[in-house]
Amino acid sequence: MDFSDNKQPIITKCKGSTGFLLLNRPEKKNALNEKMWRAIPVALERLNCDKTVRVIILGSSTEGVFSAGADIAELELIAASAERRESNRRAIFAAQQAIADSPKPVIAQIDGACMGGGCGLALHCDIRFATNVARFGITPAKLGILYPLSDTRRLLELIGPSKAKSMLFTARVIKADEALSIGLVDEIYSQATLAEKTEAFANQIAEVSQYSVRNMKKIIRAILDGQTEEDDASSEMFKAAQEGEDAAEGMRAFIEKRPAKFTWNGDE
């Protein structure tokens, strides 16, 4: 697919049941500025409201470029204004939280440099696939600034405190194979096959019950947020699923030895 004609910094496309949210500032290697951060929740909402979209892939419009991180030139200007600093902080948090809170699964498709704020975007996705030439770095220590708590928390969830400290304290850049070995990414592929493999995985998700997928995403988040026991909400969620249209179809398809045709599309 060719996205080069679109001049918006964040663009969306659809292909079957997969929606694409694409960073589109290639002249700056997708360095993230406040305009881009503000555009991400808006673009994501378009995909979440599209009932034909079941899975979202967060990637880049340009091969070999994911994100060089924050736009440092803009950060230098923002540093002079308390109002701008707060505005930028809120925009970053809102964008990343929108990805984390998306009811639909979000897969990061990473090719090339994935640095700082770009890595933060990937951390808030549900799954991360990368090319074998991708590079990862979280480098606030080189600038005398901090990584946000939300980003740091998700880094800890993925790779644990010791590995997170190693990356954060040294600000070093790691290769794809190390990122895979520590759990920062889930799979690595060649540049030639990354899109194909990511879309194939997205299609696997799209083929099963979306009622199950979206509610299991909620349950996983609740566990990661510290919930250890069933409560009224989780119990009701479990019971309601057994009465749903997808449960009826899934069990009937199993008995009849045929593929299930799930129809739930997000309507409660």
Tokens 């026991």 belong to 229
Residues 6+ apart with CB under 8 A from 202: 17, 18, 55, 57, 105, 107
Cα dihedral sign for 98, 42, 214, 199? negative
3-state percent breakdown (helix, strand, coil) of the chain, nearest 5: 50, 15, 35
How confident is the model at residue 268, as a pLDDT?
55
User: What are the two backbone dihedrals, phi and then psi, of residue 134, each rounded to the nearest 5 degrees?
Assistant: -65, 150
How do 113-115 and 135-137 pair as beta strands? Answer: parallel
| CB proximity list for 224: less than 8 A, separation 6 or greater | 157
Mapped onto helix, strand or coil, the DSSP state of residue 70 is strand
Domain residues of the chain, as ranges?
10-206, 209-255
Output the CA angle 12-149-102, nearest 5 degrees.
30
Over the chain, what is the mean pLDDT?
Answer: 95
Q: Does domain 209-255 have CATH number 1.10.12.10?
A: yes
To the nearest 10 degrees (0 to 180), the angle between helices 210-224 and 232-242 is 160
For the domain made up of 10-206, the CATH class stated in words is alpha beta
pTM attached to this predicted model:
0.95
The length of the chain in residues reads 268
Handedness of CA 24, 25, 31, 37 (dihedral sign): negative
Per-block mean pLDDT, blocks of 10 residues, the chain (268 long):
66 97 96 97 97 97 95 91 94 97 98 96 98 97 93 97 98 98 98 98 98 96 95 94 95 96 84
> Does residue 136 sit in helix, strand or coil?
strand
Give me the pLDDT at residue 267, please.
66
Positive or negative torsion for Cα 50, 55, 59, 60: negative
If one counts every other C-beta atom within 10 angstroms of the C-beta of residue 121, the result is 29
Q: Do residues 19 and 106 make contact, with C-beta atoms less than 8 angstroms apart?
A: no
